[in-house]
Copies of this chain bind each other. A is one copy, B any other.
Amino acid sequence: MLADTPAPPYYAVIFATTRSATDADDGYEETAARMEELARAQPGYLGIDSARSDIGITVSYWCDEAAITAWRDNFEHEEARRLGRERFYESYFLRVARVERAYSWETGESS
């Protein structure tokens, strides 16, 4: 259920959002699902983690900066970002970060 990424280094795009107070049926869920599907098909895509409660956080993982640039310039993704600003989001913060260390743990492993 959690994104399972290879050993670092790789890149993370951390996208934190607050939603607009619009009606629930504004197309947000469909657009978000479509963007996840589209991201998965991009070269250099490594995985995605997403959660939403008071705020939304989506972290996508990419093998290098070129993969992030290509994803940014995808036409359908550009359209979705425009919709995001016009309709879905009240505010967002986007951060591009280089993952330097990573640790994973599952029940049953020693601590």
Q: Which residues of A approach B to under 8 Å, CB–CB?
A: 1-5, 8, 12, 14, 16-18, 20, 49-57, 59, 82, 85-86, 89-107, 111
A85 touching B57, Cβ below 8 Å: no
A91 vs B106: C-alpha distance when bound (angstroms): 4
B51 touching A52, Cβ below 8 Å: yes
A100 touching B102, Cβ below 8 Å: no
A53 vs B58: C-alpha distance when bound (angstroms): 12
Partner of A102, one of B91, B95, B103: B95
A111 vs B95: C-alpha distance when bound (angstroms): 17
B93 touching A3, Cβ below 8 Å: yes
- Interface CB pairs A-B, < 8 A, 24: A1-B54, A1-B91, A2-B16, A2-B92, A3-B16, A5-B95, A12-B12, A12-B14, A12-B95, A12-B97, A14-B14, A16-B59, A50-B55, A50-B57, A51-B51, A51-B54, A59-B59, A82-B111, A89-B105, A89-B107, A90-B107, A93-B103, A97-B97, A98-B100
